[in-house]
Structure 1
Amino acid sequence: MADAAVRPAQPDDVAEIARIHLDTWRTAYAGILPPSVFESFDAEEARRAWADAVEHAHVFLATEGTWVVGFVVAGSAPEQEVADADGSLPADFETTALVSTLLVEPRWGRRGHGGRLIATAAHALRDQGASRAVAWVPEADRATKSFYERVGWAADGTVRTLDAGGRPLREIRMTGGLALLLQH
């Protein structure tokens, strides 16, 4: 394997982040999301959203050699992301962060990129005072659920249902500590 690394995203990485986002969703979520979701993907809108994320959140890129192969976005968690099903907030809500996106292109999978991304994000979140994080995962996405379980996170019993192009998409919330170590 070529040199693998993780680095902070820069504004000129936005187009590549948007490309990875769409390509990965098309491959990994083809059986989970309806085709209309991919057909309605607005590349310019995605670039604007990712530019905002690069400016306001922790966005890290996984690289292998000269290739960008994945990314993670993490930052402070809005209250609605950490609230219990009844709307109450956990005692540690002020120190709970959100991993909003973690994607590695499937062709680059199983090479440690996801582990390096989550460990780097966890380190940055700890530095900003977070004690744990949450991530929402489509219930049918067994690979991502398994990934979070391997790093010591678990489903906390909270679920939500989103509208995915007219089809319900059930997500489970995974949560875990941020004392993750980079595995070589």
Structure 2
Amino acid sequence: MRIRKAVLSDVKGIAKVHVDSWKTTYKDIIPNDFLNNLSYEQRTKLWTQNVLRKDNYIAIAENADGKIVGFADCWKRETNPVPFSSDITSIYLLDQYQGKGIGKRLLLQLFIHLKQLGIKNAYVDVLEENNTRYFYEHYGAKLHRTKPIKIGGVVLNELTYEWRDVDCVLSMLEK
């Protein structure tokens, strides 16, 4: 498995992972109509913009065949007023690659990047019913707040977790 920084030619692979992982991760959480309407084309446009953003760092995971099987990104959202902080905005893996340590390696790449930027703490949003929240908790994230959000016509709880010490997270991830 190879982890590297994304480049523009990766956007179709990132978009495919984004759509396919949403369909498995959010099955029985987000309405099927919403999930079935996700498109590779729409996500390719989104990820083209994201790769071109100077403030967005995207790491991808490639299998031995060079196929993108996961990705993660971070940047500081406009809604984040906390100095020297950033947001982990996504970590997605194809279903068959989950539970193999790839998410940990992607998260490590993000935190290495944040450390290089002088970031002190980071936030991540996750749906309450998404078991990934336990992954974040395992690596030291603490619940910061809960708020209702609407996706596909359904109101869900979005949890915001916070890591207060990038160095502490790095020490856990590097083990």
Alignment TM-score, normalising by the size of structure 1? 0.85
Who is 1:64 aligned against?
A: 63
Q: What is the identity, as a one-letter code, of the residue corresponding to 2:101?
A: G
The answer to whether the aligner puts 1:49 opposite 2:37 as a matched pair is no
Gapped runs of 5+ residues in structure 1?
83-88
Structure 1 distance, partners of 2:119, 2:49, is 21
Worse overlay, 172-181 or 13-22? 172-181
Q: Distance in 2 between matches of 1:23 and 1:43?
A: 9
Alignment of 1:115 with 2:104, yes or no, is yes
CA deviations 1:103-124 (Å, max 9, x no partner) are 1112011111011101110111
Q: Given that residues 19 and 43 in structure 2 are in contact (C-alpha distance below 8 angstroms), is that contact kept between their aligned partners in structure 1? A: no
Amino acid in the other structure paired with 2:148: T
User: Identity percentage over the alignment?
Assistant: 24
Structure 2 letter corresponding to 1:153: A
Secondary structure (helix, strand or coil) at the match of 1:48 reads: helix
Is 1:96 paired with 2:95?
Answer: no
CA shift, 1:183, in A, is 4.1
Query: Where does residue 165 of structure 1 map in the other structure?
Result: 152
Q: Distance in 1 between matches of 2:39 and 2:100?
A: 30
Deviation at 1:77, TM superposition (A): 3.0
Q: Summarize deviations over 1:89-144 as a string: whole Å, max 9, x none.
A: 5xxx12110011111112011111011101110111121221111000000112x1
Query: Is the Cα contact below 8 Å between 1:77 and 1:96 reproduced in 2?
Result: no
Q: Would you say how many aligned residue pairs link Structure 1 and Structure 2? A: 168
Contact 2:19 2:39 in 1 (8 A): no
Aligned equivalent of 1:10, options 4, 7, 11 = 7
Q: Letter of the 2:117 partner, please give it.
A: Q
The alignment yields a C-alpha RMSD, in angstroms, of 1.5
Q: Map 1:70-89 to 2 at 5 A.
A: 70-78=70-78, 80=79, 82=80
In structure 2, what is the equivalent of residue 131 of structure 1?
120
Q: What per-residue deviation string (whole Å, max 9, x for no partner) do you get for residues 75-99 of structure 1?
A: 1232x2x4xxxxxx5xxx1211001
2:61–2:68 contact (8 Å) kept in structure 1: yes
SS of 2:83's partner is helix
Contiguous gaps of at least 5 residues in structure 2? none
